[in-house]
Amino acid sequence: MADQKKLFIKTYGCQMNVYDSERMAEALGGAGYIATDTPDDADMILLNTCHIREKAAEKVYSELGRFKGLKAAKPELKIGVAGCVAQAEGAEIMRRQPMVDLVVGPQSYHRLPAMEAKAGNGQKALDTDFPEEDKFAHLAARPKAQRGPSAFLTVQEGCDKFCAFCVVPYTRGAEVSRPVDRVLDEARDLVERGVREITLLGQNVNAYHGAGAGGDWSLARLIRELARIDGLARIRFTTSHPNDMDDDLIAAHGDCDKLMPYLHLPVQSGSDRILKRMNRSHTAEQYLRLIERIRAARPDILLSGDFIVGFPEETEADFAATLALVEQVRYGQCYSFKYSTRPGTPAAERAQVDEDVKADRLQRLQALLSRQQAEIQDAMVGREVGVLFEKPGREAGQLVGKSDHLHAVHAQAGAERIGQVARVRITGSGANSLAGQVVEV
């Protein structure tokens, strides 16, 4: 159609931003936009930003600088910044980069069509409010196009934990859970369009307490209801806080077949002193006992986690406690980072650890985590696992999918298996993936 405009979205950060970018694209679809994979021919460029990584704001400004030539050559090009950096920086983005037409926070993107229209009239559009209305209720119905086999579904946003290093409570706001009926309706719609695996998302997803029949529902109750949907083969959830891992959710890992044996449960440090300084509200021992209970419910579960090294005032003894905890837990996957300051958070004002010390500790921690991951993957060889095939592989006749434990698995199989869960015997282990052979039933 001649009146269609092209939208380029670049997404930074977590799975929730991936989901948000999808919904932003759908919202702007009503304003005549279709997706493009390159900014060069776009009529609108939207950066959906994350504030978790080091120097996140400066990286956004650097990225915006790359678009100056495009804007000069095409003055009608609209440029927008969304997400957590938008929420944190607000009008400062427009001050530093006057070519930016709109800035929208993560709780206000349902207003994007109106903001785009305002920008089209030559006005700047800024919205970083925490609106009272439910943004999901104001988004247009999702288009009925076919989807890939896996999809994200946001069920909870915000966080009330106020960890000393984290900006999420300031950029995403307080914990809010979507009503049960809306989550179930969106899940059913996704399944009707070909989705076989849904990952439930939240900044603190296991704090879910959505309104439903009989009162607020827990995440475990929501998962059990989702498991009743015909055609939905797999359920996952991320990211969790140890303090909200209740008995019923632990039990669900053992009694709900559709809930996959994979759990991302960040601890951040193995030192009680540092955990207290982080305001994590749990000890290393409490975390380890929780892991024991989870593994008792689901012995084959693969655990993932997050670690911050070089947190303010961390000593070598504190770091040694982290290594000791990792040795006890044995993680199949993990994410580890050097601490970097976030303005406005309590930890930013404390005595900082030397950068060389941080780098050394990160290298030692990642070496241990990499060894554990390799050992766990090597132990998969010879086992049979379920694999949801998602797309063709690089080699002819090869498909790529995710195992029950979220490993990437490559196997020779026909394209007709895309969207199906097959039994696969693992035959080899690589750096970040497994090789397998489909077991014919």
Cβ-count burial of 341 within 10 angstroms (0-12 exposed, 13-18 middle, 19+ buried)?
middle
Flag whether 334 is marked binding. Answer: no
Terminal alpha carbon distance of the chain: 47
d(CA 371, CA 88): 37
* Backbone torsion region of residue 353, taken as left when φ is above 0, otherwise alpha when ψ lies between -120 and 50, otherwise beta: beta
d(CA 331, CA 369): 7
Flag whether 166 is marked binding. Answer: yes
Q: Residue 425: which residues within 8 A CB-CB, separation 6 or more? A: 382, 383, 384, 436, 437, 439
Which tokens sit at 399? 């498909």
Bond prior to 11 in cis (omega within 30° of 0):
no
**Are residues 286 and 246 in contact, defined by beta-carbon separation less than 8 angstroms?**
no
d(CA 71, CA 282): 50
Cβ-count burial of 130 within 10 angstroms (0-12 exposed, 13-18 middle, 19+ buried)?
middle
Q: Residue 325: which residues within 8 A CB-CB, separation 6 or more? A: 267, 270, 284, 287, 288
Classify strands 433-438 and 398-403 as parallel, antiparallel or unpaired. Answer: unpaired
d(CA 358, CA 337): 9
Flag whether 256 is marked binding. Answer: no
Flag whether 84 is marked binding. Answer: yes
Flag whether 163 is marked binding. Answer: yes
Which residues are bridge partners to 426 per DSSP?
436
Instruction: Residue 345: name the closest of 312, 383, 375, 374 by CA.
Output: 312
Known binding residues = 14, 50, 84, 159, 163, 166
Known binding residues for [4Fe-4S] cluster = 14, 50, 84, 159, 163, 166
